[in-house]
Amino acid sequence: MPPAEPHAPRPRSRTRPRNPYAPLFRIPGATAFTIGNLIARLPMGMFSVSAVIMIAGARGSYALAGAVTATGLAATAVVAPWTARLVDRHGQARIAVPATGIAALGSLSLLLCVHHGAPDWTLFASYAATATTPNTGGMSRARWAHLLKGDTQGLHTANSFEQSADELCFMLGPVLAAFLCGAFFPEAGTLIGVVLLLTGVLLFAAQRTTEPPHRGRTTAKDAREKSPLRARGMPTLLATFLATGAVFGSMEVVTIACADAQGHKSAAGAILALQAAGSCASGLLYGTLQPSGSPRRRHTLCVTAMAALMTLPLLAATLTGSLLVLAGALLVAGMATAPTMVTGMSLVQERTPEGRLNEGMTLAVTCILGGIACGAAAGGWMVEHLSPAQGYAVPVTAACCALLLSIARASATNTPGRRSARPRAASAA
């Protein structure tokens, strides 16, 4: 049975609703797929922390734990776009459920290999299998784009909600994982994460009435011509996501190092949670605003704000050395990241060819993950060779690179005499 047609957008009212998020969840099926998606998304912030605690505790090597999680990240960068392409071609339910099953088996295999002292290579192989985990956040955004087609304000609000949900899950996930592994047994975080992932994806996939239609099989020529990578402005936009990911990765490593240098390593999690809380709050607030101007201009302004606010942690760490002041600076700095991500994802939705939305958004997420890895490495090098406080120069540099890329992309897109190679997607935000 094919998915139902998208609900027609409600006529615009002259007076804006007091709560702009309420109309989203009056759409039949929206609350159900959102609950399932949130349950499935929470483990994304749990698995890496759980793996590190589990492996380091059993093998006594953080180097091995870090190498295993890095291997999983590299495998995800390769496999995730392919999985998203299959989702666009065959539908969310038909691909997401078996892909999640494979990823769950990989996590359970890792748990058993660690528990029973299997050779190190089995840990790498097991964690690499988790790369088939579908991009549940991307699939949820694709549903909103389908349900709110033609409703620019509604889609802006939905994208803001999704970004705030991302921040909330990545804020609570590591805390929950650390609690489970410490309060019960080292494998508890991974085990509960698998249960939550399977439950959430099954509940999400069961909501067939809100699932966007799949495009079916295409020829090899069409697949090449309609690839999101060939869309005008997309390569530079993805590079911007890569630089934004470097902001996140470096900020995490440098903050932990700063707290450790002052003998308060245990406070690093709470300090980083403040950054995520600032981003979550600003994302929800941003969703209540009426977007003005083009998405390109809004994105450049948001990246400019992010680059400016990222100087606050650097100043707090170098001038005061106080963790309390640093925590406040990170709270304020985090307020620019959610609007940057919301406008960036809106541009991805605008530029991605029809029928390839999951693939386009997964490419963006893959670039963010790659940027996190690069930023973590650069931040660690700065901390090791200079000082923890000076390490905050890395997120500032990464944010400035994102700003230059955003300006370059906007300039190239506005160049007269150039025309896009494809029609604008119907789901433009």
Provide the whole-model pTM: 0.73
121 lies in which domain range?
A: 28-217
Q: Rounded to whole angstroms, how far apart are CA atoms 168 and 162?
A: 10
pLDDT band of residue 17 (cuts 50, 70, 90) is: low
- Mean pLDDT within 249-267: 77
Q: Rounded to whole angstroms, how far apart are CA atoms 190 and 193?
A: 5
Residues 175 and 65 in one domain: yes
Domain harbouring 405, CATH code:
1.20.1250.20
Residues 276 and 339 in one domain: yes
pLDDT tens for 48-87 read: 778 877 887 888 776 787 778 778 877 887 888 888 888 8
Residues 38 and 159 in one domain: yes
CA pseudo-torsion sign 235, 217, 421, 8: negative
Q: What percent of the chain has pLDDT over 90?
A: 16
Residues 368 and 243 in one domain: yes
Q: Is residue 90 part of a domain?
A: yes
Residues 242 and 334 in one domain: yes
- According to the model, what pLDDT value does residue 1 have? 46
Q: Rounded to whole angstroms, how far apart are CA atoms 159 and 141?
A: 7
pLDDT tens for 86-130 read: 888 888 888 889 999 999 999 999 999 988 888 989 999 999 899
Domain boundary among 217, 245, 262: 217
The per-residue DSSP string of 349-402 comes to HHHSPTT-HHHHHHHHHHHHHHHHHHHHHHHHHHHHHT-TTGGGHHHHHHHHHH
pLDDT tens for 350-367 read: 787 777 777 777 888 888
Residues 284 and 388 in one domain: yes
Residues 183 and 289 in one domain: no
pLDDT tens for 323-353 read: 889 889 999 988 888 888 888 888 887 787 7
Q: Is residue 18 part of a domain?
A: no
Domain boundary among 175, 199, 217: 217
Q: How many domains does the chain have?
A: 2
Domain boundary among 191, 217, 243: 217
